[in-house]
Chains A and B, each alone.
Chain A
Amino acid sequence: MSTTRAYDAIVIGGGHNGLVCAAYLAGAGKRVLVLERRERLGGAAVTEEVFPGFRFSVFSYVVSLLRPEIIRDLELPRHGLHILPLESTVTPLPNGDYLGQWADHDQNRRELARHSLRDAEAYDGFGRLMHQMARAIKPFLAMTPPDPASLAPRDVAGMLRLASRLRGLDPQHFHALHKLLTMSAADYLDEWFESGPLKATKAASGIIGTFLGPRSPGTAYVLLHHYMGEIDGVFRAWGFAKGGNGSVSGAIAAAAREHGAELRTDAPVARVLVTNARADGVVLENGDEIRAKLVVSGLDPRRTFIDLVGAAHLAPEFVAAIERFKFRGSSGKVNLALSELPKFTALPADGPHLRGAISISPSVEYLERAYDDAKYGQVSRRPYMDIVIPSLIDPAMAPLGKHVMSCFVQYVPYNVQGGWTDAAREAFGDTVIDTLAEYAPNIKSTILHRQVITPADIERIVGLSEGNIFQGELALQQMFFLRPVPGWAKYRTPIRGLYQCGSGTHPGGGVMGASGRNAALTILRANA
């Protein structure tokens, strides 16, 4: 056992939030050490050559929500971040038709009008309102949530500021925000559109990462959450990171390194050292002790408090609250190496539709039925899928002429009946391929390799509890000053010197980086 020199801060977990936090702390002159369990940095934002020549954004696969202030502050483009736009979404339908949503306004309008004139009329208004709502919510993302139950001047002032911000909204927006926070995605979209495929494709972003069906209240917020993306000042812009999502983490890591942070991989932390109710370092799994003035955890709340700190150091009510925090991973991934491009029945030619997202979401009822299977512990027999082919946009992702395809799949319950055995994983993979084959019959003959990732795999490999991609469900009762635990939503913890910076804190997940940044700013204010 050896003891090494002290740091100002140790960041546990080299995911994007941990790296963002480390970069800001190092930028402010702190001596920072990042400890990553795996052999590579990035957490769920990694690029791996899973099969020779085929590189995948294994877990998270698109970029949108990454906060522009982080891109600016850390000068990420200079460190290699290059985002290529992802412009369209095509929803193939069982009847051989399709619904396209295109970047070109006129083309989009013509396409929507083919399905419903009314929807074509409503589309711009909907986009405008969502844009305005995202703008209205933006200030809250960078806010440290005040504690409504506290009488401390800072909290009272924070609550008043919050109230006056909300009261400052114009009534129409205030009510729209209320609706988005409380309604189901299906009901909300019913107010705007009539075309089934359009409603379903929009509703699908309301179920991502949650264990709710599109008709359950609470899903409209998740829909809005996915509209908060901003690239180069354009809201609701989704994109690919050139080189895969690993290059997002790579750029943040490079910025952190440039500021002097030390980044160590293959360094699993066994526990946080707590002396006199104060965190003063960590013990690695190999027994090494590393001391620091403070410890920041980028892991989810369960990992942080139950596994690394230990219930013995915490009040029973706090432990109970952490145990109540819901994860319920509901999504999986299937990554395919293809010998050639798939041919969709609806659009058989190799057209621009393959350069955007392909959404398997023919109707809201389809999504709802997918949820029905999952709520009783089965993988959806016909799941929702969000598919992209990154090699068409960034050819370096696959050998010349070949392709990589990423399928995000839901619902894939963590608590599947019978448990996640190898056979269950393969059966899930088959379900995905069979579903895909209904829309692109040639898919089976083009598959060279497939990688199937279940929520249990996400938990095992990345460390996200129950495989929840947001480090905890994005439900209203787990947001803002309730995330992860009421009274401890300000990146601090009951252990002095221990902070949290993962997406299990406000404002939550989606390769956003806001939690990491907010945590760093909190730490710097408290330890100037």
Chain B
Amino acid sequence: MSSHAIVIGDDIDECVAAQYLARNGLSVRLLHDRQAQQPRFLQTGWIAPQIVRDLELSAHGLSIDQRDPWLQIELPGGGRLELTRDIARSAEEIGKVNRHDGARWAAFCERMHALATLLQAMYAAPPPEPLASTFAGRFDLARLALRVRGLGRQGMTDLFRVLPMSIVDLLDEWFESDALKGALGTMGVMHLCQGPRSGGTALNFLHHHAGCPPGVFRQPLSNVHGVLRALPGPSMLEGRALRVIVEGGTVEGVQLATGEEIHASVVLSGAHPQHALLDVVDAAWLDPELVRAVRRIRSRGVTAEVTLALDRDPGFTTLTIAPSLDYMEHAYDDAKYGRMSREPFIEARYAGTAEGGEHPVHVHVQYAPYAVQDGTWDAERAQALGRTVLDAIAAAAPGIVSSLVDHTVRTPQALEREFGYPEGQPYHAELALDQFLWMRPVPDLARYRTPIRGYYLCGPAMHPGAGVPGAAGMHAAHTVLRDLRTRK
């Protein structure tokens, strides 16, 4: 008899997990909550090649858009800096702004890529278990140790030094140009409630470099979600999970909001662990220490999204407004005390004509703290945010003003409502060194298992999590399959 599995949620990780389970003979139902999750038009992030291969995504129409040029910024003295994946050409471009920086570009790209490659390898497997006592666990640790040693003295030194650093310290060691450092620095604070001078932001920078070609510090866009949802295998079920049914410490199924109970011997949830454990599971099954640890997971949303509808091509594929690291630090200063940045960092992406013939431009805006001081994200605040963004973009790309048809603002609270991002944080658990690898999201949950037999977590809060969509789903599914084999 094949096992029945329910996957709660139908975001990328859930779809990937469902696919792996279905392809290994499980009968899988994907629970889709229309109210909580809307499909995104395009997704940002590195799709691990393993997933593309295993699920034959390319044959099903996966298209990955690695922008080239990947960075376009307006220079303060006029002119534009464009960086491409061609390292020599980028070096030349940077050299026009600052000779010293241009000369260092190639070495910087090489050294950062060596570290990102190590991260890629670590993301391709479940997190290492430093305290493992099993043979397999020790073997994995030894392999990791050898891999780190394989970086050589220079690479190891970079690794140990860079991970805890601030992105300001890292970039200051390499470059002089404010414009270049500002634009690169954005990746250090992406979706993080920290400023560029905070420790750990260099890790965030490397995390977003993993999977990119050398010399590219922007993650690609893809249509992966749409492709996954169109794959055959799991059956779709509409409804909201009200409760995960547990009997004697073992999962029995899911009760829907309608009251209907669906039985299954395996349940996976892509929701934030706070929701997946504290809201839908009877707390009696959980150790109070674990409950406390789960409550402490940091998920502070700091971004808003603005979508511009234009009647023609905006003349850029990407546009970054982050003129210096100090600019970003000031932007963080506001957010730190619960205010929207007066001068936020902005990244606009144009992905070509949409179906209706419109020209949508997607704008990432940071910092927009989820928890604003005195009050909430009301319409007035949202409007003000929209104006700030429009003004900034108009200043950088004046041509856009006359082509603007409409714009919509998504505040962090709207992101939570529409896409199910807890506190508006798409990464669920912030990517910081204390919520990384075996600490993600908390040590006792790092291996995708929960204290309830048969109940697993597979969302972005799990290793490697956000920015590597689908990988947590794949690791979680492999864990399920291994457990099913050993249980028999």
Contact = CB atoms under 8 A, between A and B. Distances in A.
B339 interface: no
Given A182-B434, A218-B164, A482-B161, A212 B198 contact: yes
A482 B160 contact: yes
A262 interface: no
Interface string B399-440: 000000000000000000000000000000000111010010
Interface centre among B156, B161, B199, B336 (most CB of A within 10 A): B199
B194 interface: yes
Contacts of A270: none
Interface string A192-227: 000000000000000000001101111100000000
Interface stretch (B84-92, B165-173, B310-318, B342-350): B165-173
Interface string A446-485: 0000000000000000000000000000011100011000
Interface residues of A, number: 37
Contact of B434 (A149, A179, A365): A179
A486 interface: yes
A477 B165 contact: yes
Interface in A300-341: 324, 326
B373 to A, nearest CB: 11
A179 B298 CA distance: 13
Contacts of A213: 198
Given A174-B131, A215-B198, A216-B199, 10 more contacts: A167-B131, A175-B439, A190-B296, A212-B198, A215-B194, A215-B336, A217-B200, A368-B336, A375-B197, A482-B160
- Top 8 A-B pairs, shortest CB-CB distance: A218-B199, A476-B164, A182-B433, A217-B199, A149-B153, A217-B200, A216-B198, A486-B157
A171 B336 contact: no
B130 A167 contact: yes
Contacts of A184: 198-199
What is the interface of chain A mostly: helix, strand, loop, or mixed? helix
A525 interface: no
Given A217-B434, A218-B164, A149 B200 contact: no
Given A476-B164, A477-B161, A477-B164, A216 B169 contact: no
Nearest to B169: A326
Given A191-B296, A217-B432, A476 B173 contact: no
A174 B128 CA distance: 14
A157 B329 CA distance: 43
Contact of A171 (B153, B432, B443): B443
24 contacts: A148-B156, A149-B152, A149-B156, A167-B130, A174-B130, A182-B164, A182-B433, A184-B199, A212-B197, A212-B198, A215-B198, A215-B336, A216-B166, A217-B164, A217-B198, A218-B164, A324-B173, A368-B336, A476-B164, A476-B199, A477-B163, A477-B164, A486-B153, A486-B161
Nearest to A150: B153
A64 B153 CA distance: 36
Contacts of B131: 167, 171, 174
Interface size class of B (residues with CB under 8 A): 35 or more
Interface in A355-380: 365, 368, 372, 375-376
B194 A217 contact: yes
A346 interface: no
Contacts of A476: 164, 199
A373 to B, nearest CB: 11
Contacts of A183: 432-434
B267 interface: no
Contact of B443 (A149, A175, A372, A477): A175
A510 to B, nearest CB: 20
Contacts of A181: 433
A482 B333 CA distance: 31
Nearest to B132: A167
Contacts of B160: 148, 477, 481-482, 486
A274 interface: no
A191 B161 CA distance: 27
Contacts of B157: 149, 482, 486-487
A181 B434 CA distance: 8
A93 interface: no
A474 to B, nearest CB: 12
A237 interface: no
Interface of A: 148-149, 166-167, 171, 174-175, 178-179, 181-184, 187, 190-191, 212-213, 215-219, 324, 326, 365, 368, 372, 375-376, 475-477, 481-482, 486-487
Interface string B170-198: 00010000000000000000000010011
A10 B329 CA distance: 46
Contacts of B161: 477, 482, 486
Nearest to A368: B336
Contact of B200 (A167, A175, A178, A182): A182
A475 B199 contact: yes
B206 interface: no
B149 to A, nearest CB: 8
B336 A218 contact: no
Contacts of A375: 197, 329
B41 interface: no
Contacts of B336: 215, 368
A174 B320 CA distance: 41
B337 interface: yes
Contacts of A190: 296
B254 interface: no
Contacts of B337: 365
Contacts of B149: 148-149
Nearest to A321: B157
Contact of B439 (A167, A178, A218): A178
A183 B161 CA distance: 16
A187 B156 CA distance: 29
A191 B53 CA distance: 42
A477 B202 CA distance: 11
Contacts of B363: none
Contacts of A487: 153, 157
Contacts of B333: 372
A379 B316 CA distance: 43
B156 A178 contact: no
Nearest to A182: B433
A475 B156 contact: no
B137 to A, nearest CB: 11
A492 to B, nearest CB: 16
Q: Which of A175, A191, A372 has the most CB of B within 10 A?
A: A175
Contacts of A372: 333
A187 B298 contact: yes
Contacts of B153: 149, 486-487
B244 interface: no
A372 B333 CA distance: 8
Contacts of A218: 164, 199-200
B162 interface: yes
A182 B434 CA distance: 6
Contacts of B436: 182
Nearest to B289: A172
A190 B432 CA distance: 16
A174 to B, nearest CB: 6
Nearest to B158: A486
A166 to B, nearest CB: 7
A179 B432 CA distance: 10
A178 B446 CA distance: 14
Contacts of B166: 216
A216 B173 CA distance: 20
A184 B148 CA distance: 26
Contacts of A187: 298, 434
Contacts of A324: 173
Interface string B121-164: 00000000011000000000000000011001100110011111
Interface in B316-352: 326, 329, 333, 336-337
Nearest to B195: A216
Contacts of B152: 149
A326 B165 CA distance: 11
A178 B127 CA distance: 15
